[in-house]
Amino acid sequence: MSVKLRLQRKGRTKAPFYHIVVADSRSPRDGRFIEKIGTYNPLTVPATIELNRDRAYEWLKNGAQPTDTVRAILRFKGVMLRKHLDRGVKKGALTPEQADAELAKWIEAKEAGITKRREATLDAKKKFVAAVDGTAKVKAKPVVVEEVAPVEEVVEEAAPVEETVVETPAAVVETTPEPAVEAVEATPEPEVVAEEGAPVSEEPAAEPEKTEEA
């Protein structure tokens, strides 16, 4: 009887999800299995893999044969590298401490690369969602240039200014005094000088008689 490391399909139609199991090669694909050692989701970028490295290594060391897909998963998670390093320890090329340090360094670098790639995928997804569901582009309205009218047409006739008459109270208005009439001195009448020897008569001279012609 041979033991295999293989995938057991789960999930719905067109959305596969797999369990990594240790099963008898004679059992059906989705039938009885010996042990479940991890899961595999191929729909994410990168693929999401959860694996018990220690149990996978123990089954490999005991002679279990992985399928091609499971072998690629074990290589991706560093199980095959651990098997290679343990072979070098047995041959004396490495010490167990050196093998463990090298394996830990490799796993750390691998996990960092996976995290970086996952972040890049999330950024690309956010950009895609923003491009599809972003705010609508606002079209710029055409600028209408208004013609400037000549100065003569623009200048409007000035409105007549209404004169405001301010009424002042009677008490405030001062009466202007009338100019004083200067007394006109009476001009003395010319004195009549009588000739010598002629008698001065006090009676007024007789008026000349008016003629009919006059």
pLDDT digits 0-9 by tens, 175-208: 555 555 444 454 555 554 444 444 545 555 555 5
**Whole-number average pLDDT of the chain:** 78
Total-model pTM: 0.59
Q: What is the pLDDT of residue 59?
A: 95
What average pLDDT does the segment 49-60 reach?
A: 95
Distances (CA, A) of 159 to 25, 56, 151, 166, 208: 109, 102, 18, 21, 76
Q: What is the pLDDT of residue 142?
A: 78
Q: Where exactly are the structural domains of the chain?
A: 3-133
And the tokens for 49?
A: 């893999």
Residue 69 burial class via C-beta count within 10 angstroms: exposed 0-12, middle 13-18, buried 19 and up: middle
CA nearest neighbour of 49 among 4, 79, 18 = 18
Report the SS3 class of residue 89.
Answer: helix
Q: What is the pLDDT of residue 132?
A: 84
Those residues with Cβ within 8 angstroms of residue 32's Cβ, 6 or more apart along the chain or in another chain: 23, 24
In eight-state DSSP terms, residue 3 is E
pLDDT digits 0-9 by tens, 144-164: 777 665 555 544 555 555 555
CB 97 within 8 Å of CB 88: no
CATH of segment(s) 3-133? 3.30.1320.10
pLDDT at 141 over 90: no
CB 99 within 8 Å of CB 89: yes
pLDDT at 98 over 70: yes
Q: What is the pLDDT of residue 143?
A: 75
Q: What is the pLDDT of residue 136?
A: 57
